[in-house]
Amino acid sequence: MDDSAGDDQVKQPFLTTHHGVLYDADCLDILGRMRPEVVDTVFADPPFNLGKDYKNGYNDTVARAEYLAWCRKWILECCRILKPGGAFFLYATPELAVRFAQIMEERLKFRHWIALTMKGTYPRGNKLYPAHYALLYYTKGTPRVFNKLRLPIETCRHCGKELRDYGGHRDKMNSEGVNLTDFWVDTSPNRHKKFKVRPGVNELKMVIPERAILISTKPGDVVFDPFGGGGSTYQAAEKLHRNWIGTELYDSIHIRERLKENYSLFPAQEPRFEFEGLFTHEDKQDPVLRRIERQGVSARTVTHLS
């Protein structure tokens, strides 16, 4: 939670792909150098300050006031870089979502509180059994893009038959499936090591950022994720041909390995979009974001992925 936007240390992107750029840097450092209203969608899955062990040295237990003050900074910065009509999706526990929503309301328009099923959670004292997390969906004014998504009709995994008769009107339903609602039942975190990038850490299923991107963007739009984590947002953006900017302070190596596994590695591949235009003009820009020199760049410093 280091607010280091004034640091003048030169820093190059950790990796680039055809569609994206990842900085192994504090999100506030990069956000502070981005121009206003340049991003189409923000997707954020921040740490929740619950004492979680991320296996990377990150301290997930700080004073509550400090944590909330830090959240206010990056949330408002994300609002600032969002284009008119752009979308902001913020994943959080219900308790935090209530607080985050108050901040987002200062700049954005409420669209949905999407409830995401979290199977396998545990009781916490004298409270109801927690069974969902929140995905807040706000836009900067009227949405510029809103794509209606459909899901396949649910079938029994044993017999293959459809689970519902839809009130006897099945024959009148759209052949492409049922409309996506604000209650998602296929979103429990990846807990099995087979599906995780970081050993010992529960990770967000790619379907969550993938749907957010599909709802709110068109191919070629720009997505920003300030907390890369396991890299699910970046993989989804690559898959859907959306451009992306990301920051991750601790687990960039895991993200690189994830993208290498899914996309062939080339030694000199650069982004196909002008990512520099998202930042302040070069003659006024901090050296941290100046264009990578085409000659003599260390292979250790920057990795290019196709």
CATH number reported for the structural domain that contains residue 87 in this entry? 3.40.50.150
In DSSP terms, 16 is beta-bridged to: 21, 304
Domain that holds residue 192: 15-304
Distance CA 42, CA 202 (A): 22
Asked if residue 268 belongs to a domain, the reply is yes
Instruction: Quickly count: other Cβ atoms within 10 Å of residue 22's Cβ.
Output: 25
Asked if residue 7 belongs to a domain, the reply is no
Asked if residue 4 belongs to a domain, the reply is no
Single-letter amino acid code for the residue at 114:
I
Encoded tokens for 263 = 């996309």
When divided into structural domains, the chain yields a total of 1
Asked if residue 23 belongs to a domain, the reply is yes
pLDDT at 268: 43
pLDDT at 128: 84
pLDDT at 158: 72
Asked whether the beta carbons of 41 and 89 are under 8 A apart, the reply is yes
pLDDT at 261: 85
Asked if residue 5 belongs to a domain, the reply is no
How do the pLDDT tens digits run along the chain, 306 residues long?
654 444 444 368 999 998 999 999 999 999 999 999 999 999 999 999 988 877 777 888 899 999 999 999 999 999 999 999 999 999 999 999 999 999 999 999 999 999 999 876 666 678 888 889 999 999 999 999 999 999 877 767 778 666 566 665 566 666 678 889 999 988 876 554 554 465 545 678 899 999 999 999 999 999 999 999 989 999 999 999 999 999 999 889 889 988 888 876 544 478 889 998 999 854 444 444 444 433 333 333 455 565
Asked if residue 156 belongs to a domain, the reply is yes
* CB-based burial, 103-137: b 16+ in 10 Å, e otherwise: bbeeebeebeebbbeeeeeeeeeeeeeeebbbbbb
Asked if residue 89 belongs to a domain, the reply is yes
Task: Look at the pTM and tell me if it is higher than 0.85.
Answer: no
pLDDT at 119: 73
Asked if residue 243 belongs to a domain, the reply is yes
